[in-house]
Structure 1
Amino acid sequence: MDYPQHSAYRVPTKRPLLLSELRSQLPSVDDRIRAFPGYGDPTEYEAIADSLYQVFITTRNLAPARHSTNCSIHPLGPVDPESPQGWGQCLFCNSNRRIGNPRARQEVANAALQYDVPPPPYTHETLLDRMRQINDVIFELHYRSPEEDFALAADLVHGAFIIARELSRPRSTSRCTRHPGAPVDPTAQGGPRCLLCVAAERRTGAVPPPEIRNRPRRPVPGRRLPHPPS
């Protein structure tokens, strides 16, 4: 008697449940975004960002695990926002390199494996375009989809969450069209400017770093000796 040949492939645990949850979460968020006639109020985008973050958690659990720093010592550590050229993204290791720790200098600099962060400007139109991409990718997902497709879905949803989060910020704080809700650097050249734009210019060398001046120390007063008895 001939027995049927079974495939060696096994559906990962919880993938059917997570796919069902993903397809139940996405339509409601997509409908709320499309219901905006144009730019909505920042408070409306707060609820959208919260819902997109929940969708991202589901897609992240479906996708292969990744770390923010890709560091073998601190895989879940903080990311260095001012990482020099040729260094890694781990803030702990880069801090050790800056203070001259020789063991940290021997660490191999790896590229970061962070989730996608779309470049500004962040507008309602870019959010709609990102949602169209998400719907197309998730529509094609099934139990046997390759890991790359699930990773792409996680990147797209994370990018939509970033756009909605930026749209939920106040739009008159920095007066910056690229970062509407960014803080202001009051010490920037030419007057108060967007802190994120100033930091980006310093990283590229367009603006010299601030000069640090050492304040002269006050002389330590000497201890007065008692007068000899007369």
Structure 2
Amino acid sequence: MPTKRPFLLRELRSRLPSVDDRIRQLVDHGDPTEYEAIADALYRVFITTRNLAPSRNSTDCAIHPNGPVDPEPPTGWGHCLLCNSNRRVGDPRARQGAASAPNQYDVPPPPYSHELLLDRMRQINDTVFELHYRSPDQDFDIAADLVHGAFIIARELSRPRSSSRCPRHPGAPLDPAAPGGPRCLFCAAAETRRGAAPPPQIRDRERRLPLRRRRP
């Protein structure tokens, strides 16, 4: 059993209930600013669960195991961005390892919702409740994945939302008198302009040249 495991497990169980209570107390799915504070708290919980679980090599690189991941590694190269950058500039000392799948933490697929976050928190509570000092490393790995997924959901819910739910004008004001209920003010005004009669046009009069006076 690792030496720090009892301390970290006690820290995890002391931090988790307060975050769970804040999520359950949100009214009408909460405001993005409230989810921002929850995402910060969940990230601190994730750091604790990550330290409880065995270390992961996210880049499959012996030199930079926790370095940045190259989002587009060339064919046959590894996922370490630092080594790949050195290889791109022709550094002969750069690592020549073959590519393999990086071992990253769980990222749940969208769409993200408050119900999805609540369901993820129920899974976390059930998993942490079963943990003890001599639990296998696989159980701590599962807990780390679950907490990381909850952090991703809360982080996405903390992004600014569109008050008008209009894909063309995010955050636009609402027109309460628009046909069909409150709608995007900009789109409603554009439809009104298209349906209105065209404005009157002013035509220029033909200019007539002044008659030349005959000389006496």
- TM-score, normalized by length of structure 1? 0.64
- TM-score, normalized by length of structure 2? 0.68
* 1:21 has 2:15 as partner: no
* 1:146 has 2:126 as partner: no
- CA displacement 1:159-189 (0-9 Å, x = unmatched): 111111111111249x899xx9xxxxxxxxx
Residue 106 of structure 1 is aligned with which of 77, 85, 96?
A: 96
Partner of 2:182: none
How far 1:21 moved relative to its partner? 1.3
Contact 1:88 1:112 in 2 (8 A): no
Q: Secondary structure at the match of 2:37?
A: helix
How far apart are the structure 2 equivalents of 1:50 and 1:105?
Answer: 35
Residue 25 of structure 2 is aligned with which of 35, 59, 65?
A: 35
- CA displacement 1:124-168 (0-9 Å, x = unmatched): 111111111111111110111000100110111011111111111
How far 1:75 moved relative to its partner? 1.7
Amino acid aligned to 1:145: S
How far apart are the structure 1 equivalents of 2:76 and 2:162?
Answer: 36
Partner of 1:5: none
Partner of 1:57: 47
* 1:68 has 2:58 as partner: yes
* 1:162 has 2:172 as partner: no
Residue 119 of structure 1 is aligned with which of 100, 109, 123?
A: 109
Amino acid aligned to 2:127: V
CA-based RMSD: 2.6
- CA displacement 1:61-113 (0-9 Å, x = unmatched): 11111132121222222111223565432112333454566765832223211
Q: Secondary structure at the match of 2:82?
A: helix
Partner of 1:92: 82
How far 1:117 moved relative to its partner? 1.5
Amino acid aligned to 1:70: D
Aligned residues: 167
Partner of 1:203: none
How far 1:30 moved relative to its partner? 0.7
* 1:133 has 2:119 as partner: no
* Alignment map for 1:6-17 (pairs within 5 Å): 11-17=1-7
Larger radius of gyration: 2
Contact 1:48 1:164 in 2 (8 A): yes
Percent identity over the alignment is: 78
Gaps of 5+ in 1: 1-10, 181-230
* 1:44 has 2:39 as partner: no
How far apart are the structure 2 equivalents of 1:150 and 1:82?
Answer: 30
User: Which shifted more, 81-90 or 117-126?
Assistant: 81-90
